[in-house]
Chains A and B, each alone.
Chain A
Amino acid sequence: MPDRAGAFRGDRPGDEGLVFPDIGPEERRPSIGPAVPRGSLGLGLSFRTRLMMGLIAAAISPLAVFGAVVFLLGRAVDDATVGRILLLVLVFAAMIAVLLAYLLAADLTAPLRAIAAAVERTSAGDLSTPIVVPGEDELARLAESHNRLASDLERRNRELGRILVALESGSPRDSPEFIAGRAAGDARTAFGLIDAEVRLVDPATVPAEERIPGESLPVRAVLRVGTDRLGVIVGHLPATRQWDRADQDLLELYASEIAVAIRNAQLFAQVESQNAQLVELDAAKDDFLRGVSHNLQTPLTSIRATADQLGRDRDDHRFGIIVEQTDRLSRMVRQLLTVTRLESGALRPRSEVVALAHPVRRAWEALAADGVTFAIDDQSAGWLAVADVDQLDQVLWALLDNAVKYGEGSAIDVEIAPETGPGPSRLRLTIADHGRGVTEADRGRLFRRFERGSDRTADDGSGLGLYVSRELCLAMGGDLVLEPTAADRGAAFSIYLPGEPPADADLGSTTVDQQT
């Protein structure tokens, strides 16, 4: 008899290359496992025959012996001897009957005990050890039924285990097609299918196959997520395999898990591609701005350099005007770029130390506002601001430009002073003009984009200056505020920046003497 016992052993879920057994009742003859002790009277007869024979033997044999003895003794001995002998024979016959009954009981109960023990083992979870009862009798068939039940249970356990392993191995980064392909392979192994396929199409377009007796058995399950049907899994079982309700339920459970995995992958891919698109758009915008900036700044650079050179050759203040206006234009281009960058969060200011009076003076010179009185009251006493000098330059230029424009030619005062209260040290730089100041109505919306003073007929400027300046100050860890209205001045804006207290060369306790 072919040894198919391997299929019944406790293969762990996930073991590959396992051949699922044909489990037709006629074919299964496991040959290992605990052999059930066979009674001495068995002789391959059926349980019923053995029981009948045993009962008859137990009842008849003492009578037969008794009868035979009576027959023999009746002719040969006297009555007294007969009485003794009969008593002896009766005792002997009773002993035979007891022995026969014992043997019969043993023969009949041993397989039953073995089956009971096997059922105990099965219910305790050991599905791998079949009971072996040779022959064709009722007990052998009972053992066989048990074995089949156990192996079915074991197979389903294994299928479940493989399904769980298959479901765990996925990642949301896998493509739906990859997941479908892998799910088909996993289903084939887990359910012992001849072939399996996951089709990510409307299940209605995949016709259900009819079952033809003797040929492979078609199985299918729809991939459902809620009310959505993402596809269908179809496959075939060997013709000899059984496929019952529990198997179908398991396959459908598996299909719905696959459907969830595929849906997750689809959503993940969607988010990924949207992200990629956004990044691409961002990069494209950056490139575009860079291009715009380049195309505007390059001619300005040529103009400026030419005017600069001509101005050096000939003493004509008009070249100076060209240079100044070119600078103004290029600053405005820069301002627009800065706005965009601030909005996309791409602006990362640097933190360098700077004495505020220096950039203020430079910005003032760049502005070339002739005829306007300008004074710096520097009380910084060695305090340095921590700022991005390039960005600070933009802020100072915008604020001074505003002061000149809206101060209507009045004197401009700049005050620089450290602010050492509780919290981190800051430097304050206040730029005040002596114009009409800012109206109450304007105060609230001054720092918004594209806003200008309502009573002011600004003929130039983008309306971005204060907005950009404030955002830049915030980005540098500072702030820009409009000071309260005061009688002795017009508009006054204060820049606050992180400050560094003065240091001298000898600061730092590990000081070494000069070495040559």
Chain B
Amino acid sequence: MLSGGPGGREAPPRILIVDDDPNLLVLLADQLRADGFDIQTARDGDEALRRLRTGWPDLLVIDMMMPRMDGLSLAREIKGRADLPIIVLSAIDAGDSKADLLEEVAEDYVTKPYHYPELRARINRVLRRLGDKVPRQSLVLGPDLTLDLHRREATVRGETVQLTPTESRLLYALAANLGQTVTTETLLARGWAETEDADPSYVWVTMRRLRQKVELDANRPVHLQTVRGIGYRLIGLQGASLVGPEPARRSDA
């Protein structure tokens, strides 16, 4: 059994790879198949969309630069149909101005040339994150704190605070289990899946930095609480709610 691969009990996760480079398509498909994934491939956006008509994969890996429909447009198109997890392969890195745009559309992105183990780690992380039911909505945790994780923003006492990708991932994991304890190990896996040598201190220090960002008093946290010896939990004060584009309708009848 290869480390990080999908478990054997269930059907292997289906991945649709979209890339205009046939060599890479074959290579990546081979590598992922060897690790037990069920792989489909498409040479461009149109083919990918055609394939989606016959069935949805568990995850898509999309090349950023493709003729006709680029990866970003394709990702947007797909998200418009179904909230399928997407990893974008691109030659751009975090320093690029488009990286933020990418992260808004896709779950993650991997820079070319990719290192296969890293790509696999990210695929597994995104697949695991499927259980997290964090909608693309504002999460109001109290009068002084609102999270907009899809935008990597928090609003603290009316002021917008930017979150780093890792901070967002940790908050994703915590928000998906609102009010419940999430272990440090889980948070480490969510935040640093591709960093093999990350240790729990990463979580601790990042949580401390997060408190300084989102808590009114970092020494007396209201929302980000430590559960001694176990991990952390995110607390929504009374009235906490999801505020999305479709607010809940109240029946007058």
Contacts and interface: CB of A to CB of B under 8 A. Distances in A.
Interface string A351-365: 111110010011000
Interface string A336-374: 011001000011111111110010011000000000000
A354 B92 CA distance: 22
A505 B184 contact: yes
A211 interface: no
B113 A355 contact: no
Interface stretch (B50-58, B123-131, B219-227, B244-252): B219-227
A503 B205 contact: yes
Size band of the interface chain B makes with A: 35 or more
A305 B206 contact: no
A327 B92 CA distance: 15
B208 A508 contact: yes
A302 interface: yes
Interface string B181-210: 100100000000001011111101111110
B119 to A, nearest CB: 10
Contacts of B23: 302, 306
Interface stretch (A382-390, A428-436, A449-457): A382-390
A293 B92 contact: yes
A504 B204 contact: yes
Contacts of A121: none
Contact of B208 (A290, A305, A503): A503
Given A509-B220, A513-B228, A350 B93 contact: no
Contacts of A502: 201, 205
A401 interface: no
Nearest to B221: A510
Residue in B28, B166, B207, B226 whose Cβ sees the most chain A Cβ within 10 Å: B226
8 contacts: A290-B65, A347-B95, A348-B97, A351-B164, A352-B166, A391-B95, A505-B184, A507-B208
Given A298-B21, A503-B204, A508-B208, 19 more contacts: A296-B91, A298-B65, A300-B112, A301-B21, A337-B93, A341-B96, A348-B95, A353-B202, A353-B209, A355-B201, A384-B202, A390-B94, A390-B95, A503-B207, A504-B204, A506-B229, A510-B221, A510-B226, A511-B225
Interface of B: 21, 23-24, 27-28, 30-31, 64-65, 90-98, 111-114, 116, 164-166, 181, 184, 195, 197-202, 204-209, 211, 219-222, 225-230, 233
Q: Please name the 7 residue pairs, one residue from A and one from B, whose CB atoms are nearest each other, closest first.
A: A301-B113, A297-B91, A503-B204, A294-B91, A293-B91, A358-B197, A294-B65
